[in-house]
Amino acid sequence: MITFAFLKKIKQVVKLHDLQFRPFISEEEIQQTVQRMAIEIANDLKDEVPVFIGILNGSFMFVSDFVKKYPKPCEVTFIKLASYEGVKSTEDIQRLIGLTQDLSGRTVVILEDIIDSGNTLEEVHRIFKNEHVKQLLIATLFHKPTAYKKDFKLHYVGVEIPDKFIVGYGLDYNGLGRDLPEIYQLKTTQHMTNLVLFGPPGAGKGTQANFLKEKYNLIHISTGDVFRFNIKNETALGMVAKSYMDKGELVPDQVTIDMLNAEVEKNADAKGFIFDGFPRTNAQAEALDKLMDSKDSQINAMVALEVPDEILVERLLERGKTSGRADDADEGIIRNRIKEYYDKTAVLKDYYSAQNKYFGVNGVGSIEDITKRLSAVIDTL
């Protein structure tokens, strides 16, 4: 699956007809994916001479690059189907150009540029039903799993992508964009409220996060919870993170970003997010900015609860009487935790202040009063 690491800088936003498209996947990354697919299919087919069939018009770049990278003998032909008008996939599939060669007993590999709804794929299976091929394999450079409506197996998938319209590398928007060597994604305007919530130990950050997510219908993403979920469920990212943690090493920022990206993707229709526990460094803050930018969004504010140290110590010592946590019962440990918080967040305060996005909120008073103060900030964003 595509990760945030794929989202490198390529070109600026391009305008095709009335729409704007933002950089999504670079030419280098496309070529690496095509190379990987060509080698994988060649290894699977061993000494067979397959017939590769491209679906025109979109697949012409993919097929051309693929056969150049395919390391064994092969045959190539094309068929043409139509299923798009503008940026919408239609249900009306028409076979425009058919096959002329006998495919009986042959291994046929369909090379698709993109599979989303699967309507085109359904027609492909209908076409080849009476061709008596040895086997029919489907290989697609791009796949939108959340848009896929059919049950046909996809044997080879280059990159899984979100269900957003893309152009470039053979794909077009009403005739334009096929010549672009990279992939661009439709740029949309979506108002979201995305917060980075901070507060020292004992500030009541967790309590306020629960109130804010309910009031503003936001998704609360706690980095700690995300890590525990991925490790417990043995996801690919969770296993990578665990391998570092087992060795006593810090988990690379990219792994954390990829986990956060997955959470954001799972909640694509959310009205916004509360990021809790991330970022903690300038590099992480920059990575989070890039992640949100890739979603046509941004971090709107860093909101930090500000509470005098003595009140924090008093709160935590009181909490320690019932929490059972050793670090809530020792005043020396408590003061060290508070100092560590200020040391780590000072750079982030500077980072977001430079963007006019830092808001310090008085965290002393009743829960309701503090919520009102936080809301007063959020309502201005």
Residue 355, CA distances (Å) to 67, 102, 286, 316, 380 in order: 48, 64, 12, 33, 15
- Burial of residue 262 (CB within 10 Å: 0-12, 13-18, 19+) is middle
Per DSSP, 123 falls in state H
Q: Does 168 show up as a binding residue in the annotation?
A: no
Residue 57, CA distances (Å) to 43, 83, 160, 171, 299 in order: 28, 11, 21, 8, 39
| Rounded Cα–Cα distance for residues 206 and 67 (Å) | 55
3-class SS at 197?
A: strand
Q: Does 277 show up as a binding residue in the annotation?
A: yes
Q: Does 325 show up as a binding residue in the annotation?
A: yes
Q: Does 86 show up as a binding residue in the annotation?
A: no
Determine contact, residues 218/208, Cβ cutoff 8 Å.
no
Q: Does 319 show up as a binding residue in the annotation?
A: yes
Catalytic residues, by residue number, are 205, 280, 319, 325, 337
Q: Does 178 show up as a binding residue in the annotation?
A: no
Q: Tell me the backbone φ, ψ of residue 343, rounded to 5 degrees.
A: -60, -40
Q: Does 20 show up as a binding residue in the annotation?
A: no
Q: Does 205 show up as a binding residue in the annotation?
A: yes
Q: Does 250 show up as a binding residue in the annotation?
A: yes
Q: Does 27 show up as a binding residue in the annotation?
A: no
Using alpha carbons, select from 196, 201, 213 the residue that is nearest to residue 284.
Answer: 196
Q: Does 120 show up as a binding residue in the annotation?
A: no
Residues that constitute the known binding site for AMP: 223, 228, 249-251, 277-280, 284, 325, 337
Residues that constitute the known binding site for ATP: 202-207, 319, 365
Residues that constitute the known binding site: 202-207, 223, 228, 249-251, 277-280, 284, 319, 325, 337, 365
